[in-house]
Amino acid sequence: MGAICFGLWFILDAPSLQRAAQASPIGMRRTVSMDFVGPFAALSRTVGLSNAVGWTDAAIGRTSPGAGPSLSKLEHAPVPPPTTVPAGGTAGTTTTTTFPVLNTNPTPANPLKVLVVGDSVGIDLGEPLVSTLGTTGNVATYLDGRVDTGLTRPDYFNWPAELGIDLANQQPQLVVVMMGANDPQGLVDGSTTYQFGSPGWNDAYSRRVGAFLDQAHAAGARVLWVGQPPMADPVLDQKVQVLNSLVQAQVAQRKPYASYLSSAPSLGNAQGRYTAFITDAGGAVITVRTPDGIHVTRGGGQRLTTAVIGAMGSDFGIHLNP
């Protein structure tokens, strides 16, 4: 009886187990799980058993494992693309694209619109950044932070789709991005799977970063990408340095509409390496990192916020006078 009950449950919940397998790190274990669960999930959907599980989950408010965070709802029409001015028909001329003028001197009546997006480390920055920008009275902010997300696994959470919704709903003039801590893992590009650190992985990830920047730029927004901080674990730290270098290279190709800010000067030691504590100019010791060696404390987020606001001024000429 136990085996029969287990088999019935397995078939009923096979679609949820399949989604959980899809969200797991790419590798042999994921492949075997997908191959094993796939036929049972197909059977469950064919005979309609998965509907019963879906209704039950909805009734009790349960989220299916592996489904990933939900996308935001589109509340406004997508932002029309920038105006393209014809070349004029003469040889050697090129077309030019006119982007909205950046609001470099915002006022309460005409605030600067800032969108902050990222993963859980991005939230560590986003919360104090949004709070500080709000005190100026000249900035309208929106934070879209999604835990356990990044650009390598759109099958788990599709950041380009989410960014498109955010750009339409918020119509920001500046997008602050901080993500990547979850990205050092295998990714699928088309029909090919690349392992982290391989040339194919670097190329595929670079294209995704570039497309993300271009997507925001096409909606008329400037982008300030904040690099990942130094990590306590040497292996993860090395991977994060690779990610940061790939992002920095993509941003460099898109100046002056995009800019890169390293978080190491704000959160690292004198050599730019990991440290949990920093002594400020007044001699006070500030805890800037959480015990996991990955995330950033409120104090660390505030230090990084100061650097972001400084970069807004130096890189984009934005003056925030309370």
What residue has token string 């489904």? 67
Tell me the backbone φ, ψ of residue 85, rounded to 5 degrees.
-95, 125
Write the CB contacts of 55 (distance below 8 Å, at least 6 apart in sequence): none
pLDDT band at 246 (very low <50, low <70, confident <90, very high): very high
Q: What is the pLDDT of residues 41-62, one digit of tens each?
A: 555 545 555 444 444 444 544 4
Q: How far apart are CA 165 and CA 75, in angstroms?
A: 8
Per-residue pLDDT at 92: 56
The token pair that represents 219 in the structure block: 């909606």
* pLDDT, mean over the chain: 85
Distance, in Å, from the CA atom of 309 to the CA atom of 223, rounded to the nearest integer, reads 13
Q: What are phi and psi of 156, to 5 degrees?
A: -90, -50
**CA gap 249, 178 in Å, rounded:** 16
Q: What is the pLDDT of residues 77-101, one digit of tens each?
A: 776 666 655 655 555 556 555 667 8
- Cα–Cα distance between 71 and 69 in angstroms, integer? 7
Q: What is the pTM of this model?
A: 0.79
Inter-residue contact 173 to 222 (CB < 8 Å): yes
Q: What pLDDT was estimated at residue 100?
A: 75
Distance between CA atoms of residues 138 and 283, nearest Å: 32
Q: Is 89 exposed, middle or buried (CB count within 10 Å of its CB: 0-12, 13-18, 19+)?
A: exposed
- At 2, is the pLDDT very low, low, confident or very high (cuts 50, 70, 90)? confident
Q: Tens digits of per-residue pLDDT, 177-227? A: 999 999 999 999 998 999 999 999 999 999 999 999 999 999 999 999 999
Find the mean pLDDT for residues 13-41: 56
Structure tokens at 252: 């460099």
| Amino acid code (one letter) for 99 | F
What is the rounded end-to-end Cα distance, in angstroms, of the chain?
71
The pLDDT, as a whole number, for residue 62 is 45
List, in order, residues 6 or more apart from 153 with CB less than 8 Å away. 23, 182, 185, 187
Which residue blocks in 61-196 are alpha helix, DSSP H?
120-135, 159-170
Q: Is the pLDDT of residue 142 over 50?
A: yes
The whole-number pLDDT of residue 16 equals: 57
Cis peptide leading into residue 82 (ω within 30°): no
**275-297 pLDDT tens trace:** 999 998 889 999 999 999 999 99
pLDDT at position 82: 63
* Structural domains in the chain, sorted by start: 2-60 (no CATH), 88-316 (3.40.50.1110)
| Predicted pLDDT of residue 53 | 46
